[in-house]
Amino acid sequence: MINGEIEKLFFVNPKGALREFSRLQYNAFSGEIGSNYDWVVAVDGAVSKSQATKGKAGIGGVIRNKECRLIYVFSGPSIANQVFEVEMDACMYVMSSMDPSWVPPKKNFVKINIRASTIVDALQNGNVNSIGILARNDRGKYLWGIMSPMKNIGFLELQLWAIHKAMITAFRKNIPRVILETDNVHSYDITLEQDEELIEEEGLVEVLRQINNPSRTYNGMRQEDNSKWDCELVTVDSSRNRAALCMAHYGMSNCSSLVEVPEPFAELKEHLDIDMGFGPHAEFLEVQPNFGEGELLPAEVGRRGVVEIIDLTSEGVNVNGRAAGKGKQKV
C-alpha cells in the first residue's frame, strides 16, 4: 500500500488495488452483518463446461464469527450443471452440515442422553469402560452430566447400568418429566420387554431390578399426580448421541470413579454446539482418502540390480568404505 490509499496503489498495481478494495468492502459488509448475527456464511458456486453437454462444477464457502474471524472453510465438487443449481448446492451444503442433530424434548421435559463405551485392552489407568450421561432441557441448555468407569462387566450390562444411573439421578434431582435416550437397541428392548429367560441367561437380574424400582416410582407418581411425573426410554441413532459418547471416552481416560459434571468441558462444548446446529457435523470434517493420486511408484531396476548414484558433492560419496570421486558410481 502507498500511504494506505487504494487510489494511489491502483496506478502501480491495478489488480492488487481491486483485490484490496474488495477485501475492505467485504470486511465492512461482514462487520455490519456480524454485529447482528453470531456467524456470517459466504458461499459460492461455479460451473465450467469443457463441452456443450459436459460440465464440471464446484462449491465453496467460508464461515466467520461476529469479529470476522475465520471459523470454517469448505470446498468441493458438485454434480450440478447449471449456475443456479450449483449456487443452491452450496447453500444446501451449509444447511445440511449444520443441521441440528439433537432433537429437543417436549416442553417442560428434560432429555438425558446415555452412552456406554468399552475397550479390549485396559488403559494405563486400568479402565476398560465408562458411561457418559448428560441432561438438557427443552431449549437445549446443559443441566448436568455424569461420567463413571465401572468394573469389568459385559457391554450390555454396562448399558443397562447407565440407564439406571440416569434414571435414579433424575429422580434424586426431583426432575418430574424425563426422556432417556440411548443408542443401544438391545438394552432398550430388554428394559421394555423384561424377558425373564433372557435376563437370567445374560446375568442381568440385579441391574434390571434396580432399573424397575425408579421406573415404578415414576409411573406410580404419574398416576397419582395427573401425569405431572413421567419417565420414558427411547432410542436414537448413534450419530445423534456423540456428546454422551464424548463424556464416556473422557471418563474412561481421566476418571477413577463416578464424577458429576456441573459445567461442560471444552471438548464437550464443541459437541453440544454441533448438536444445536452451531457447527458442521463430524462426518463433514473427516478427510476423505484419495487413492487415485499421489501414490509412490517404485522405480524399475535392471536385471543386474545396478543403480546409479549421482554424486553432487565436491568430496564425493563413500561407497563400500572408499571415497568416491565426483560423478557416477555403481552399487
pLDDT given at position 328: 47
Whether 70 and 153 share a structural domain: no
Whether 87 and 119 share a structural domain: no
CB-count burial class (<10 Å; 0-12, 13-18, 19+) for 266: exposed
Backbone φ, ψ for residue 83 (5° rounding): -60, -45
- Lowest-confidence region among 17-21, 174-178, 299-303: 299-303
The answer to whether the beta carbons of residues 162 and 118 sit under 8 Å apart is no
pLDDT-derived band at 27 (thresholds 50, 70, 90) equals confident
Q: Does the structure show a pLDDT above 70 at 126?
A: yes
pLDDT given at position 253: 94
Whether 117 and 262 share a structural domain: yes
Question: Higher pLDDT residue, 307 or 289?
Answer: 289
For the stretch 36-68, pLDDT in tens is: 777 788 888 888 876 554 558 888 888 877 777
pLDDT-derived band at 6 (thresholds 50, 70, 90) equals low
The pTM of the full predicted model, rounded to 2 decimals, is 0.61
CB environment 139-153: b (16+ within 10 A), e (fewer): ebebebbbbbbbeeb
The answer to whether the beta carbons of residues 20 and 9 sit under 8 Å apart is yes
Q: Does the structure show a pLDDT above 50 at 315?
A: no
Q: Does the structure show a pLDDT above 80 at 308?
A: no
The count of C-alpha atoms lying within 13 angstroms of the C-alpha of 298, restricted to the half-sphere facing its C-beta, is 4
17 assigned to some structural domain? yes
Question: Residue range 234-244: average pLDDT?
Answer: 89
What cell does 233 get?
A: 426410554
CA distances (Å), origin 65, targets 97, 265, 266, 274: 17, 21, 18, 15
Backbone φ, ψ for residue 71 (5° rounding): -110, -45
Whether 20 and 118 share a structural domain: no
148 assigned to some structural domain? yes
pLDDT given at position 13: 67
Whether 169 and 66 share a structural domain: no
User: 126 is in which domain, residue-wise?
Assistant: 110-281
pLDDT given at position 32: 72
Whether 91 and 149 share a structural domain: no
pLDDT given at position 64: 79
How far is it, in rounded angstroms, from Cα 185 to Cα 205? 18
145 assigned to some structural domain? yes
Highest mean pLDDT (candidates 96-100, 225-229, 259-263, 273-277): 259-263
Question: Higher pLDDT residue, 172 or 11?
Answer: 172
Question: Residue range 180-201: average pLDDT?
Answer: 88
Whether 142 and 204 share a structural domain: yes
DSSP for 129-158, written as a single string:
EEEEEEEE-TT--EEEEEEE---S--HHHH
Q: Which of 106, 132, 105, 133 is nearest to 118 (CA)?
A: 132
Whether 77 and 46 share a structural domain: yes
SS3 content of the chain, % helix, strand, coil (to 5): 40, 25, 35
Total domains, the chain: 3
Whether 260 and 221 share a structural domain: yes
For the stretch 135-159, pLDDT in tens is: 999 999 999 999 999 987 889 999 9
% pLDDT > 70, the chain: 72
22 assigned to some structural domain? yes
315 assigned to some structural domain? no
Whether 178 and 81 share a structural domain: no
304 assigned to some structural domain? no
311 assigned to some structural domain? no
Q: Does the structure show a pLDDT above 80 at 300?
A: no
For the stretch 264-299, pLDDT in tens is: 998 899 889 888 877 666 655 555 555 554 444 454
Contacts of 120 (CB under 8 A, 6+ apart): 128
Whether 83 and 205 share a structural domain: no
Q: What is the CA radius of gyration of the chain?
A: 30
- What value does the mean pLDDT of the chain take? 78
Q: Which of 299, 269, 285 is nearest to 134 (CA)?
A: 269
pLDDT given at position 196: 83
- Lowest-confidence region among 11-20, 53-62, 76-85, 142-151: 11-20
pLDDT given at position 172: 92
328 assigned to some structural domain? no
> What's the CATH code of the domain at 249?
3.30.420.10
Whether 43 and 30 share a structural domain: no
% pLDDT > 90, the chain: 31
